[in-house]
Amino acid sequence: MSLLAVVYHLVPEAPLLVAYNRDEPLDRLCPTPSIQSGKPRVLASIDQNTNGTYLGVNQNGMFIGVVRRRKYNVPMNPRSRGVLCREMLKTGSARLAVDMCLEELHGGQYDGVNYVIADPECAWVVHSGEETEVSELPRGLSIISDGDLNDHRDERANMARRLLTLQTLDSPVKFLAVASKVLARAPSAPGRPSMVIRDNDYGTVSATLISLGKKPRDAIYQYSKGAPDEAKFEDYSPLLRDILSRGLRESRSKAHSNA
């Protein structure tokens, strides 16, 4: 299952830091991130099977990440978790996105899912398995896979935490440097936790690193199209800075017109 690590409001220069390994069937198409049309502008990788996304950032600095969750009573024809993520990214804030999420999940039409929803003002995690629960994302490092947030029973998440905290994560550069190596940790012996998963027809298909600073020019977005132990991280920061700058201009223009 995919692994998502988030550092929230711990590093002063970057309120939100993200490291994500996406695990899927190996034949699942995984296009590179691109700016989506419409408002607000969104930077995301769009799944060509569902037209949804597993991770995105909109021009207001809101981040949403999706991780599958274990669920036993799966609906016959579940709605796409990625499409819901894409719809939430169109909202104006994390609070509004959470409201939309809970309303959608209430009907029980989705397979198990964990959503991490964060903007500069607040951050939340939504667990939806047999029941749906929401709680605030705590300050500091949080890690989630197919169970609960910071689940001590998850050996892979425990390994990620241990490796990510071998050094003090006191700057965006330090976090990105450490996280890139952690995500790229090659598969280990069978039965042992591993950052990169590589099975017969399932495994790690991409990796993403994000730093959302207080200013658009400080934002960083790095993406590995493939397992990060084999594919290099490429820089998509100009795209992220572009949409964040657009969001800042529109926000200032709106404030000026309302003055």
CATH number at residue 215: 3.60.60.10
- For 226-244, the pLDDT digits (tens) are 999 999 999 999 999 999 9
The model's pLDDT over 33-55, given as tens digits with 9 standing for 90+, comes to 999 999 999 999 999 889 999 99
User: What does the block give as tokens for 7?
Assistant: 């550092």
Supply angle C-alpha 193, 144, 44, rounded to 5: 110
Closest by Cα among 13, 22, 44 to 169: 13
Q: How many domains does the chain have?
A: 1
At 102, the amino acid letter reads: L
pTM above 0.85? yes
Average pLDDT over residues 110-116: 97
- Structural domain including 148 reads 3-258
Higher local confidence (pLDDT), 196 or 257: 196
How far apart CA 232 and CA 226 sit, in angstroms, is: 8
Distance CA 132, CA 164 (A): 29
